[in-house]
Each structure stands twice: as structure tokens, then as C-alpha cells.
Amino acid sequence: MEIGKERAGAGVRDEGMEMLTPEDAKELGLGPEAPEPYPCPHCGKLLGRRGINVGGRMLWVSHEPCGCPGEIEQAERQAAFEAAEKLEEDRKKLLRAGIPRRFLDAEISDPTCLAYVKSYPAGKGIGLYIHGKVGTWKSTNASGVARPLVLSGRALIMTSALRILSDVRDTFDSRSSAKEELERYLRCEILVLDDLGKESASPWSVMTLFDVVNTRYEAMLPTIYTSQYDLEALGRRLSRAHERETADAIVSRIRETCLLVSLAGNDKRVPPVVAQARTQPLFANDVSAPAKAVRATPELGRFGDADTAR
């Protein structure tokens, strides 16, 4: 006889321990004997007991599966309940990581972002710089990248430069340490920095931003940025505080460590009806068609094919 051939059915979750039948236990000389067969609560069929070997003694913890419609329906309800529990727990993980509620179900539309997730270059310090006009799904793609990384157990924080600066500034009027507040952004495995360039420019803000970028650069920790500005425009934007050298140093580090993703197109937040109305000709005899937006091919930078990104 093949010992342990049957597995646990309804009534206990299989945790990887081999379930034994009464015949198995008898052949192995294990006691005590199995209790009387268990009557199925749905159809009344008598079901043989199943147990596990614990230190040379049998512990009768379950019974053979029945397979009747009632048992199948109960199992389906239990599976649906567990799936809903997992979904809720996943959502809580994403919220704790800082992913905005609006983007909890975000999906990736850019191929470079998708390739980055599929072959996440752990330990290489390689990130993404996602830029484009308003409404081109920069935050959506960044959140779509962040979701599977968080759910796979990566220590990720999603925030914005505005929020980092605000949190550090709030410590000035409290007993909290600005260094301690900044530390969690400096040391987390992955930082998603949304809307870079929106923050006001001052020597303090630019130097604080440099501290974040440079510390993570030196530690080879990946950072994913989104911005309305390409890197040249970002440098000009940050240098408004007359910190041109610091702005150039920030841009240089981003360029070296990030795959560049350029998103193009119209503002996707505009409802389709409104967008269509905006493209209607002003006069009935105006037959000129509006120019179609061409989506830029994402740059893979100097890291080659994103599917094999280091």
C-alpha cells in the first residue's frame, strides 16, 4: 500500500504535512486508532478519518473529502472569502507604502516600465525617470511599477519631493529630528519620487533634494522619478535658486542611474467628449485634420534592452 496517498480534504488546510489514512497508521504501528468515520454535514456520507504523525503518535485532524455539491459550494465560498481577505491585505500594504488610493489598481502602459518590473535589477541601483506633459500617465505608470514590487515584499516608499520637504520642514517646530525624518527616504530599498520639479526652489530645498539623490546614488539604491520636465528642463528648473552646480549634480546622477521613459500624447484626464469637442473644426468648410500625437519611443539609456537591464 502507498502510504499517504490521499491528502486532506475539507475541514483542514494542507500545510505541507503528509496526511495518513487509518490503514497507513496501522501499517506503521501508530496509535491511537482512528475515531469513527465523520458524517458529511451536507449529505450525511460517512468519511474516513485522516491524521498526521506527531512524535510517533497519530493526531486525527481531518477526514477524506466528500465531493458532494454542498461541500464543493462551501469550499468555493471559503476560497472567495480568502481571496477577498488577501485583496484587502494587499491594498493595505500598498497604502502603507504611500501609493495613492487613486492608483491602487494602476496598470503599466509603457513597455520600458513593464520590462523594468519583469526583470527588476535588484542591487544595481538602476531606476526610472518617467517624464511627459500633464496627463500622460506618469504617476499611473510609476504606481503600476510600484505595486508588484511592494506585493513581492520589496521595501518601497512612494512620495513626492514636495512631501519630503514639507515633512522635514515640520520637524523645525517640533522635537523631531530632521535627520531621522529624512532617513527613511534615504535608506529604503526603492524610492518613488513623484512630480519632481514641482517644489519651490530655494538653496535649502535644492540641497535637501541633492542629499536624497546623492545618498541613494552612493548606496546604489534605485529611485523612480516622475516629472513634467525632461532632464535638461529639470536642471533649469532646479537652478532657479541660483544653485546651478547642485542642480547639475542632481541631473547628472539621475541620468547615470535611470532608464529614461518619455510619455507623449494629450491629457488623458480630459473626458473623451470634451477632447472630441476641442478638436472640432471652427468652420464647416475647415477640412484640415488635427495632427495626431506620436508617442515617443522610451529611451533605454545606456543599459541596453530593458528585458536584460542590470
The amino acid occupying position 37 is P
Contacts of residue 53, defined as CB under 8 A and 6 or more positions apart, other chains included, come to 18, 20, 25, 28, 30, 59
Q: What gap in Å lies between CA 282 and CA 275, rounded to an integer? A: 14
Model confidence pLDDT, tens digit, residues 21-44: 999 999 999 999 999 999 999 999
Judge contact between 56 and 64, C-beta under 8 A: no
To which H or E segment does residue 78 belong? helix 69-96
Residues 19, 119, single domain; the answer is no
Q: What gap in Å lies between CA 103 and CA 169, rounded to an integer? A: 27
Residues 50, 121, single domain; the answer is no
Residues 207, 65, single domain; the answer is no
State yes or no: pLDDT of 6 exceeds 90: no
Q: Where are the beta strands (DSSP E) in 45-155?
A: 46-47, 49-54, 57-63, 127-132
Model confidence pLDDT, tens digit, residues 60-72: 999 999 999 999 9
Judge contact between 36 and 45, C-beta under 8 A: no
Residue 18 confidence class, pLDDT cut points 50, 70, 90? confident
Which of 34-43, 165-174, 268-277 bottoms out in mean pLDDT, i.e. has the lowest?
268-277
Q: What gap in Å lies between CA 8 and CA 23, rounded to an integer? A: 15
Residues 79, 149, single domain; the answer is no
The reported pLDDT for the residue numbered 269 is: 77
Residues 106, 16, single domain; the answer is no
pTM of the entire structure?
Answer: 0.71
Q: How many domains does the chain have?
A: 2
Last-in-domain residue among 65, 96, 127: 96
Last-in-domain residue among 96, 128, 148: 96
Residue 171 confidence class, pLDDT cut points 50, 70, 90? confident
Judge contact between 257 and 293, C-beta under 8 A: no
The reported pLDDT for the residue numbered 274 is: 53
Domain around 12: 1-96
State yes or no: pLDDT of 79 exceeds 50: yes
State yes or no: pLDDT of 56 exceeds 70: yes
Q: What gap in Å lies between CA 3 and CA 21, rounded to an integer? A: 8
Q: b/e map of 6-15 (b: 16 or more CB within 10 Å)?
A: eebbbbeeee
Residue 241 confidence class, pLDDT cut points 50, 70, 90? confident
Residues 41, 78, single domain; the answer is yes
Residues 169, 294, single domain; the answer is yes
Residues 63, 106, single domain; the answer is no
Better pLDDT: 293 or 28? 28
Residues 92, 149, single domain; the answer is no
